[in-house]
Amino acid sequence: MFIDRVKIKVKAGDGGNGVTAFRREKFIPRGGPSGGDGGVGGSLWMIADEGLNTLLHLRYNPEHKAERGRHGEGSNRYGKDGEDATVKVPVGTQVFDPETNELLCDFTEPGQKYLAAKGGKGGWGNSHFATATRQAPKYHYNGRPGGERELQLELKLLADVGLVGFPNAGKSTLISVISAAKPKIADYPFTTLEPNLGVVDMGEFRTFVVADIPGLIEGASEGAGLGDRFLRHVERTKLMLHLVDVSSLSGRDPISDYEIINRELTNYDANLGARPQIVVATKIDALDEPERLDALKKRAKKDKKPFFAISSVTSVGVKELVSAVAARLTEMAVEAKEAAEKLGAS
């Protein structure tokens, strides 16, 4: 099950109490105060784990607590500090304050940490208050409570390439052909009900990650069909492959489908509409009307977008598409590096 939105409660450990105590040893009259301090409560940390790709493990375990500090004891014995606790989340998780909707942390790198709740300070024992004029203080401080809060977690998959298009446009079939991902494939709309990730191996230790986004339809940005629930997963992709079914059996107009999906992307986020995009005509093995393919190719050329025609079933054009995607990602990486260097120089 793919879960990309959960609410959790985190609680850091309370600080241990200080103690009021006096030395009572033979041959040591007026031994003086000996109350030790309480230990510091454990803090609660969140850490990005690249081995996770869903928030499912948090859905049924929504409360997380760190250990409290131990109380101080006599003979100036300090309480033990509480152990920190960690909550692992997938890379791509965003942490929000559920009341203000403020973004608190965005996990974009494996191993990235965030202090979700800080442990409470330990209280002082009465030995802390002894002075030359106050040699027998009979009071101490209690430990402070640890931080406690609710957090809204939302996952936005981190992928180099996002596959978008109408239901049954061939996204799941393509990702199953070019990677080891095994999504459900069937001949009916909305077969894919959750995003799938696949790693494409280009050899020589070169790879890129592809995300298969569940099919969009007209009005998706306003909640139609599966709605905009999965559109957030396209936000982080560097490049989009816009798959359009041109087969004669689809009964759909390729140009209309192409325009609708682009409109929904723009309606959801103007930046998505301007994201680099490669137009991919799919299912050409079932094409009986070449003019359908030609019309889409002309439209892509008009919009100055690269165009490929493929059949994932027969593998026609797939190798060329993958090579073009890898090349474009390399170009984009170089462009980003040059832009960063210019920004640093200025």
Q: Which CATH number do you get for residue 281?
A: 3.40.50.300
Q: How many domains does the chain have?
A: 2
Asked if 243 and 174 touch (Cβ cutoff 8 Å), the reply is yes
pLDDT at position 205, please? 66
DSSP 71: P
pLDDT at position 190, please? 42
Task: Please state, as a whole number, how many other Cβ atoms lie within 10 Å of the Cβ of residue 49.
Answer: 18
d(CA 264, CA 288): 29
Residues present in the chain in total = 346
Task: Please state, as a whole number, how many other Cβ atoms lie within 10 Å of the Cβ of residue 17.
Answer: 23
**Are residues 233 and 295 part of one domain?**
yes
**Are residues 124 and 147 part of one domain?**
yes
pLDDT digits 0-9 by tens, 98-132: 999 999 999 989 999 999 999 999 999 999 898 88
**Are residues 172 and 144 part of one domain?**
no
d(CA 90, CA 141): 40
Q: Are strands 161-164 and 239-245 parallel, antiparallel or unpaired?
A: parallel
What is the torsional sign of CA 92, 95, 98, 102?
negative
**Are residues 3 and 38 part of one domain?**
yes
* Positions of the chain with pLDDT lower than 50, given as ranges: 1, 184-193, 220-221, 223-227
Asked if 125 and 20 touch (Cβ cutoff 8 Å), the reply is yes
pLDDT at position 79, please? 94
d(CA 302, CA 238): 22
Domain that holds residue 106: 1-155
**Are residues 292 and 177 part of one domain?**
yes
**Are residues 235 and 112 part of one domain?**
no
185, with CB counted inside 10 A (0-12, 13-18, 19+), is middle
**Are residues 71 and 166 part of one domain?**
no
Whether the predicted model's global pTM rises above the 0.75 cut: no
**Are residues 248 and 147 part of one domain?**
no
Q: Among 126, 155, 184, give the residue marking a domain's end.
A: 155
pLDDT at position 255, please? 95
What is the domain-level CATH number for residue 35? 2.70.210.12
SS3 state at 115: strand
Q: Among 117, 140, 155, give the residue marking a domain's end.
A: 155
Query: Order of strands across the sheet with 63-65?
Result: 63-65, 5-11, 148-155, 93-96, 103-106
Task: Please state, as a whole number, how many other Cβ atoms lie within 10 Å of the Cβ of residue 346.
Answer: 5
